[in-house]
Amino acid sequence: MEHLKSLSRGAKQQREIEARKGGVLIISLLFFATLYATAWFFIFRSWSKHKRCRAASSSISFAHALVGASLAMADMVSSPWTLDAPNTAFQNRIMEWSMAYFIVDLFHYFLAVPEDHLFIAHHFATLTYMISCRYYTLHGAKSVMSLIAAGEATTPLQAIWMLARLAKDEFPVAERVYTALSPTFTLLFTIVRGMLGPFLLGKLASFYLWGCADTVIPRWLAWFWVFEVSFAVVGSMIWVFRLWRGLFKLYSQRSGFWKRD
């Protein structure tokens, strides 16, 4: 019996060692760094420095969201929404993909836009959530999948909208794209981030705050996760306000309301 217990503990330890390996993370880091450099040095090389860095960031954001949100949505519909379940290998790969993006984009903000404290704090909070779930608790990845699926659902459209915004002063077609996309993007962002986001926060809080995952996730860490999601929701609300303000200003300018005599 002791021998069987020893074998069981050994197998469990081996599974934990395998679970903590991060091969996808390294490959993804190289991918996002290469994509950022390609956008900076080649695709947008004729743009000003300020626009180039934002365009490069939007490029890796588009790639991350297109893959990450799709895979996270696939995971959401393929398995039960159990917030304290062991992480699967598929979920670990999705988290490594997302962590790589946030690491590269965090370097972008530190070096190119250090004054954007809201995005830096958002990226840092997201990274600590994923890293602790992926490499420490080895449980709770379903919560990360739900947040990626919801949080990144509008990002591909946002990246296109941002690129059009950056280019609209030089390219008439970009201005038309920006004007056409602004109301759609603002509405979708409001629904996903402003409505679905708080709903997910409520679901996570009702599970983690009352210790439902205490056997696999330390209570202090579960509370910290809820705090980070709360911070992200507040940040999204600020963005929603800014988007509607910008949309109102855009259409006011087009109607002549802001024009001076």
Query: Does some domain include residue 17?
Result: no
Query: Does some domain include residue 119?
Result: yes
Give the C-alpha separation, 242 to 215, whole Å.
41
Query: Does some domain include residue 113?
Result: yes
Q: Which domain holds residue 222?
A: 22-255
pLDDT of residue 255: 62
Residue 114 sits at φ, ψ, to 5 deg, of -65, -15
pLDDT of residue 4: 37
R_g over Cα of the chain: 21
- How many structural domains comprise the chain? 1
SS3 139: strand
pLDDT of residue 110: 94
Q: How crowded is residue 141: how many other Cβ atoms within 10 Å of its Cβ?
A: 25
Query: Does some domain include residue 15?
Result: no
Query: Does some domain include residue 31?
Result: yes
Are 153 and 69 in contact, with CB atoms under 8 Å apart? yes
Are 229 and 222 in contact, with CB atoms under 8 Å apart? no
Query: Does some domain include residue 131?
Result: yes
Query: Does some domain include residue 1?
Result: no
Distance in Å from the first CA to the final CA of the chain: 91
Q: For residues 148-162, b (16+ Cβ closer than 10 Å) or e, as one string?
A: bbbbbbbbbbbbbbb
Query: Does some domain include residue 198?
Result: yes
pLDDT of residue 8: 44
Give the C-alpha separation, 181 to 177, whole Å.
6
Q: What is the pLDDT along the chain (261 residues), one digit of tens a residue?
A: 554 344 345 445 544 555 556 689 999 999 999 999 999 999 999 999 889 999 999 999 999 999 999 999 999 999 999 999 999 999 999 999 999 999 999 999 999 999 999 889 999 999 999 999 999 999 999 999 999 999 999 999 999 999 999 999 889 999 999 999 999 999 999 999 999 999 999 999 999 999 999 999 999 999 999 999 999 999 999 999 999 999 998 888 766 544 444
Give the C-alpha separation, 128 to 91, whole Å.
16
